[in-house]
Amino acid sequence: MGIRAAGVGQPSYESMNEVAATVPVTASLALSADAEGTVVKMRCAYKEGVSAGPAKWTYKLVVVPKSGEPDEIDTWTAGEGDELELTAHSHVPRTDIARIEIRKGDGTTLLVST
């Protein structure tokens, strides 16, 4: 008879920090190293009634290394009330990541994880 522990083998997600009170999205990340860099798993939810504007917005997931150029690893579109999970890959090794950002389509940073 075997016993399986809940959550064993599941990634540990950490919340990202908002850069302003009016950020229309909340998110959490789980990072894991692999042979080619870092696997980034993200869960996010889009708040309702936070900002006027288009029904959908474009977002970018960006890995900022300790040195070198940022690595845009995914882009998506979402609107109020949407929830999303994604898995993306960065060539930047986990130990070389300074932070990860969610940016608007115009490049404005909304959320940061360090």
**Domain boundaries of the chain, sorted by first residue:** 14-113
Rg (CA), the chain: 15
Nearest to 108 by CA among 60, 51, 73: 60
Higher pLDDT, 56 or 52: 56
What tokens does 73 get? Answer: 């690893």
pLDDT in tens, 95-113: 999 999 999 999 999 999 9
pLDDT of residue 56: 86
Look at the domain 14-113 and name its fold. Immunoglobulin-like (2.60.40)
Question: How would you label 56-80 residue by residue, b for 16+ Cβ within 10 Å and e otherwise?
Answer: ebebbbbbbbeeeebbebbebebee
pLDDT of residue 28: 97
pTM assigned to the model? 0.85
